[in-house]
Amino acid sequence: MAKIFCVANQKGGVGKTTTSVNLAAGLAKLDQRVLLVDLDPQGNATMGAGINKAELESSIYQVLLGESDVAGARVRSEAGRFDVLPANRELAGAEVEMVSLENRERRLKDGLAAVDADYDFILVDCPPALSLLTLNGLCAAHGVIIPMQCEYYALEGLSDLVNTIKKVHANLNTDLKIIGLLRVMFDPRMTLSQQVSNQLEQHFGDKVFKTIIPRNVRLAEAPSYGIPGVTFDPSSKGAQAYIAFGAEMVQRIKTM
């Protein structure tokens, strides 16, 4: 049975997609069977995995509206050695079109149920909003991974996300829990980064992942080649960190 994780933070540009794509590739390197779900109309995870979002025959949009199943819409990322349920701008329409549908917040969960046996991990890259799309991700998941930059405003907005997760847990999905906060784009030369990082550890204890993802230009360059950073330059510090994070996640699911 697959373990399903949302990579979520309603703040924009905090490293959700970079984390989703590189964790997927890191887990694949550890021989895990992975499906990466792109739940963002920006389609960044799709492109970052090397799939052209402009040429999709079907996508997550059709899955959410019940016009395709996941098996019919998924594509293979050869570069990352994982499967992708891709997205493009069309998905923005689903937000509105789903409102009138039955079980509107459980459409993704229902779709993923049919491919559960095919994977060890299903990773969902959420959009930067606490929207109906993100709600679909949270209803489908066993846990949430929250990427955070160690900066002054990092904690602002975190309580909104935590409250949303609590509400979903109470009303819609009792499986859901916060797996952890992932420190990303970390710059050890900055005193402030160290301070915020220490504060996170003090406040959240073992809810903070041990692995820290450094700021690394190779991770930022990789998407323009349509290759996950982990595959693009496996020896880079960023790639090594995401592989270590993959190993940490493999350990975590053993105790779930």
Pairing state between β 75-77 and 82-85: antiparallel
Q: Say if CB 94 and CB 102 are below 8 A apart.
A: no
Q: Which of residues 114-133 bind ligand ATP (CB under 6 A)?
A: 128
Q: Rg of the chain over CA atoms, in angstroms?
A: 17
Q: For ligand ATP, which is the closer residue by CB, 101 or 247?
A: 247
Residue 234 touches ligand ATP, criterion: CB under 6 A? no
Q: Say if CB 228 and CB 51 are below 8 A apart.
A: no
**Per CB under 6 A, which region of 106-114, 163-171, 212-220, 243-251 contacts ligand ATP?**
212-220
Residue 219 touches ligand ATP, criterion: CB under 6 A? yes
Count the residues of the shown chain that bind ligand ATP, applying the rule CB under 6 A.
Answer: 19
Q: Of the candidates 14, 35, 49, 87, which one interacts with ligand ATP according to CB under 6 A?
A: 14
Per DSSP, the three-state class of 33 is coil
Q: Which amino acid is present at 199?
A: Q
Contacted entry of ligand ATP, Mg ion, none for residue 13, CB cut-off 5 to 8 Å set by kind: ligand ATP
Tokens 């979520």 map to which residue? 8
Which residues, in sequence order, are bridge partners of residue 38?
A: 125
Distance from C-alpha of 100 to C-alpha of 168, rounded to nearest angstrom: 20
Please calculate the CA angle 60-141-115 and round it to the nearest 5 degrees: 55
Q: Of the candidates 135, 213, 239, 243, which one interacts with ligand ATP according to CB under 6 A?
A: 213
Q: Which amino acid is present at 132?
A: L
**Per CB under 6 A, which region of 38-46, 62-70, 104-112, 247-255 contacts ligand ATP?**
38-46
Least distance in Å: CB of 18 to Mg ion? 8
The residues that touch ligand ATP, with contacts defined as CB under 6 A, are 12-18, 40, 42, 44, 128, 184-185, 213, 215-216, 219-220, 238
